[in-house]
Homo-oligomer: A and B are copies of this chain.
Amino acid sequence: MNEAIRTIIESRVSSNYFDANQVITDTAIEELVRLATRAPSAYNFQNWKFIAVRSFAAKSRLAAAAFGQQKIRDAAVSFIICGTLKAYEQLPAALAPAVDAGLLPRAVAESWARAARDAHAGNPQLQRDEAFRSGSLAAMVLMLAAEGMGLTSCPMSGFDPEAVSREFGLSPGEVPVMLVAVGHASSGKFSQKPRRAVRDVLSYK
């Protein structure tokens, strides 16, 4: 087992306390998003987008839509990780880089687009499930990447989705999946809370 990845997984902790005096560069934010989008998604949908909230005004609006959580004001940036509901509509664009690079035959990309449309069109629950799957996979990579950059993070599902959508101009075809605050820890490092025993959550078939 690679010790670095094990250590990062075991030491990552959702932090409520960020140093409000420290910022993160655009370069670091872009690297976090670049790595987050290395997460897998069905059909390589990449059915996500990221809003990096870091201005005082935008943080205030996001905090108001998230029960006033102070960490949104303190963290250098909070990402609104959004999922795309009608992902099949954007699949040709999502696959274009792979087709252009000669890594995915155009006919295969077109067959995926048809299959995705057949499965997803007219099935809003599947669209939403897929948005939550992809957005959450990307969020987890983003948090581990932040840990690898010496930053700390905190995922939040405690927010008013309608208020977030309204305040940040999400379209009806987009849903906020998760907020992830990222910044510098303010006061040392807490320990991860213990989890239930593996035997209580694992069975073999």
| A49 contacts partner chain B, Cβ-Cβ < 8 Å | yes
Kindly state the interface size class of chain A when it binds its partner. Answer: 35 or more
Within 8 A of B (CB), among A123-151: 128-130, 132-137, 139-141, 143-145, 147-149
Q: What is the copy number of this chain in the assembly? A: 2
Cβ–Cβ < 8 Å partners of A148 in chain B: 1-2, 4-6
Question: Do B35 and A103 touch (CB < 8 A)?
Answer: no
Q: How far is the CA of A205 from the CA of B177 in the complex (A)?
A: 18
Question: Do A141 and B35 touch (CB < 8 A)?
Answer: no
Q: How far is the CA of A52 from the CA of B143 in the complex (A)?
A: 26
Q: How far is the CA of A147 from the CA of B94 in the complex (A)?
A: 25
Q: How far is the CA of A201 from the CA of B46 in the complex (A)?
A: 9
Name the 8 nearest CB pairs between A and B, nearest first: A4-B4, A136-B136, A140-B140, A5-B148, A2-B148, A132-B132, A58-B205, A97-B194
23 A-B contacts (beta carbon < 8 Å): A1-B145, A2-B4, A2-B148, A2-B149, A5-B8, A6-B145, A9-B35, A10-B35, A14-B40, A33-B202, A40-B143, A46-B195, A50-B201, A51-B202, A55-B205, A97-B193, A97-B196, A98-B193, A101-B194, A132-B132, A133-B177, A140-B141, A168-B205
A: which residues have CB within 8 A of B?
Answer: 1-2, 4-6, 8-10, 12, 14, 26, 29-31, 33-35, 37-40, 42, 44, 46, 48-55, 58, 93-94, 97-98, 101, 103-104, 119, 128-130, 132-137, 139-141, 143-145, 147-149, 155, 157-158, 168, 177-178, 191-198, 201-205
